[in-house]
Amino acid sequence: MKKHNFSAGPCILPQEVLQQAANAVINFDGLDLSLIEISHRSENFVRVIEKARSLALELLGLENKGYSALFLHGGASSEFLLTPYNLMKKDGGKAAYMNTGTWSAKAIKEAKLFGDINIVASSEDKNFSYIPKDFTIPENVNYFHCTSNNTISGTQMKNFPEFDGLTVCDMSSDIFSRQLDFSKFDIIYAGAQKNMGPSGTTLVIVKNEILGKTGRNIPSILDYQVHIAKESMFNTPAVFPIYVSMLTLQWLKDLGGIKAIEKINNAKAELLYTEIDRNPLFKGNTAKEDRSIMNATFTLIDESLKNTFDSIWEKLGINGLHGHRSVGGYRASMYNALPIESVQVLVDAMQELETTISKK
Amino acid sequence: MKKHNFSAGPCILPQEVLQQAANAVINFDGLDLSLIEISHRSENFVRVIEKARSLALELLGLENKGYSALFLHGGASSEFLLTPYNLMKKDGGKAAYMNTGTWSAKAIKEAKLFGDINIVASSEDKNFSYIPKDFTIPENVNYFHCTSNNTISGTQMKNFPEFDGLTVCDMSSDIFSRQLDFSKFDIIYAGAQKNMGPSGTTLVIVKNEILGKTGRNIPSILDYQVHIAKESMFNTPAVFPIYVSMLTLQWLKDLGGIKAIEKINNAKAELLYTEIDRNPLFKGNTAKEDRSIMNATFTLIDESLKNTFDSIWEKLGINGLHGHRSVGGYRASMYNALPIESVQVLVDAMQELETTISKK
């Protein structure tokens, strides 16, 4: 029996993608060679990375708009560093950051090595359980940085501040899940291991014209202009993670793209949040208007029911439901590839707990 | 028919490893989940990365000698940057580099951003066709950096200079292929995609006591001390490449370790170089005493025979024999997983060319 996989990341991928990936590890493209033992410069792999790059731009509606799509090494944590390296002026550099959780805080920490960081908004006062609104971004900063979805706390930005300067967004955990005007962003980055593929590669979408203006000597591997010039092949790319990302992006396109998956994601989230609000045994962790469509966090009102509830959902084949170690409780991650049937099984588990308790 | 895969990297891996990797993409450890859709902090994956780290140290004879093994993102090209960041003094930093080919030159380029670089030896004068000897390393440098094997030109360091300071070696293309006293090195790094696994992860072996002495503020993702403290899980690791690397290291251990594979590698190289020297139609590219056991580079004396020779080896199922675009000719990469039978097929092809020509 295939598990109902609510893992927060690395996370569930489409079953057909997993099957294609496994096949390619044995024999790729009918070459009688494994995907992972051929040259990254072979025409077969170049076709893969080019397709992954163009699918990413196409799905985001950013084709022919002056953006490049790169598949880089290093995870989103590397982009915490590449952002200031590529955008913050060498002399008198300033940037504005929103602090909406653990990952924002890590991005801020790295940026501080490069210049003055202005924390324009923070939800740290309430353990990151909401998204700050009504703040202003100073005009003189080199860029504004935000995190669109906070996997650990379970909040999500529904609106983005209007800002005339450069906007950088870490979309690691909700990219390709909902429609946005992506052309309002100058850099979007996302580790692959949520809605795209396995861990080991990071998608970076960057507006070409914003680069090369800091006065810094940037090490090659950290320089977006180098990666753009080398068509994302400055060094040997992470072949397998990029191949699986390409397959997942193709799967999403075949499904109808972001517009289609957004409907499904909204339906999944509504199903679960409705039960969280209805069921007297549970409560949600976050402000209702800021609830993430990707990661629903909730807790048992009576913690003594934990073992009973855990045994119910484990028996039903649910995996990965425990909250992040820094928050506790439960976290249901409902990424693109999670079927609504799995959410229904979780709702069933919550209702089964209610029935069990009422019988006692 | 499985190809005879002489690809320079990503390259051939043991067939049984490919089969296990494909199986894990469908169902890992009997979890009814794919390897690539589970948490990297699950006990099943933590076991994988811990095993990969300990196997690496064990195979190199570096267990309990004050070294850490890390599986990082970014490829060896990232280590070109991490080396100076972690070892070169902030004030008045100096380092000595050997320039033995394209990859050395790239390492030098990045290091120059951090301090004074002294090129203590170079073989650029003869297109990197030999390994410089009889040079001295100044005592006052922060470290000495060399490249043990040059994949493009096909040379290999057989001896390493005696030096009292820190020695850093890029062993991307010959790690785990031959016995050395690895405790003479302070940092060894190697992209996985030769003798270890798929592209997407880099093994770094680092002597703990040498770190934290530069006076630099090092960004977290570039700081070896951070990665050591986080047990190589500072950020989400490249799960699939690390899993396959673990399987390959286990395969090598089961085979008898480096001692056993070195014998096989020497036999493969002797078989091919003997034919290159015997066959009047071919010549080797490099100084005989510096010939690489991993990558044999050679050319046709009469270039007009190229099409005839290419069709002979292609017909025999050989793959990846063309030389690097910067050198031309042929390059036979004979990494650990290449069976000696494949080398025999190549020798057969070279002899078939000779027979074909003599009949004309």
At residue A1, the pLDDT reads: 63
Q: Which residues of A touch B193 (CB under 8 A)?
A: 236
At residue A74, the pLDDT reads: 83
With CB atoms and an 8 Å threshold, state whether A198 touches B12.
no
Q: What angle do CA B157, B158, B159 make, to 5 degrees?
A: 95
At residue B54, the pLDDT reads: 98
Q: Which residues of A touch B39 (CB under 8 A)?
A: 7-10, 320
Task: Kindly report, residue by residue over A159-204, the tens digit of the pLDDT.
Answer: 999 999 999 999 999 999 999 999 999 999 999 999 999 999 999 9
Judged against a pLDDT cut of 90, whether residue B1 lies above it is answered with no
CA atoms within 13 A on the CB side of B323: 18
Tell me which of A174, A186, A194, A251 is the catalytic residue. Answer: A194
ipTM value, please give it: 0.97
Task: Kindly report, residue by residue over A216-237, the tens digit of the pLDDT.
Answer: 999 999 999 999 999 999 999 9
With CB atoms and an 8 Å threshold, state whether A25 touches B25.
yes
Task: Kindly report, residue by residue over B247-306, the tens digit of the pLDDT.
Answer: 999 999 999 999 999 999 999 999 999 999 999 999 999 999 999 999 999 999 999 999
With CB atoms and an 8 Å threshold, state whether A240 touches B198.
yes
Complete domains list, chain A, with CATH: 15-255 (3.40.640.10), 257-359 (3.90.1150.10)
Optimal mutation site among B37, B86, B201, B331, interface A, most CBs of chain A within 10 A: B37
What's the rounded Cα separation, in Å, for the pair B92 and B215?
Answer: 11
Nearest Cα neighbor of B224 from B215, B233, B211, B214 is B211
Optimal mutation site among B36, B227, B247, interface A, most CBs of chain A within 10 A: B36
Judged against a pLDDT cut of 70, whether residue B159 lies above it is answered with yes
Instruction: Write out residues in chain A with pLDDT < 70, as ranges.
Output: 1
With CB atoms and an 8 Å threshold, state whether A26 touches B26.
no
Q: Is B309 exposed, middle or buried (0-12, 13-18, 19+ CB in 10 A)?
A: buried
At residue B2, the pLDDT reads: 80
Q: What is the 3-state secondary structure (H, E, C) of chain A?
A: CCCEECCCCCCCCCHHHHHHHHHHHHCCCCCCCCHHHCCCCCHHHHHHHHHHHHHHHHHCCCCCCCEEEEEECCCHHHHHHHHHHHHCCCCCCEEEEEECCHHHHHHHHHHCCCCEEEEEEECHHHCCCCCCCCCCCCCCCCCEEEECEECCCCEECCCCCCCCCCEEEECCCCCCCCCCCHHHCCEEEEECCCCCCCCCCEEEEEEHHHCCCCCCCCCHHHCHHHHHHCCCCCCCCCHHHHHHHHHHHHHHHHHCHHHHHHHHHHHHHHHHHHHHHHCCCEEECCCHHHECCCEEEEEECCHHHHHHHHHHHHHCCEECCECCCCCCCEEEECCCCCCHHHHHHHHHHHHHHHHHHHHC
At residue B192, the pLDDT reads: 96
Q: Which residues of A touch B31 (CB under 8 A)?
A: 3
Q: Are B143 and B168 in contact (CB under 8 A)?
A: yes
What's the rounded Cα separation, in Å, for the pair B360 and B357?
Answer: 5
End-to-end CA distance of chain A: 31
Q: Which residues of A touch B81 (CB under 8 A)?
A: 219-222
Question: A173 is written with which tokens?
Answer: 């955990």
With CB atoms and an 8 Å threshold, state whether A10 touches B320.
no
Catalytic residue ranges of B: 103, 170, 194
- pLDDT category of residue B93 using cuts at 50, 70 and 90: very high
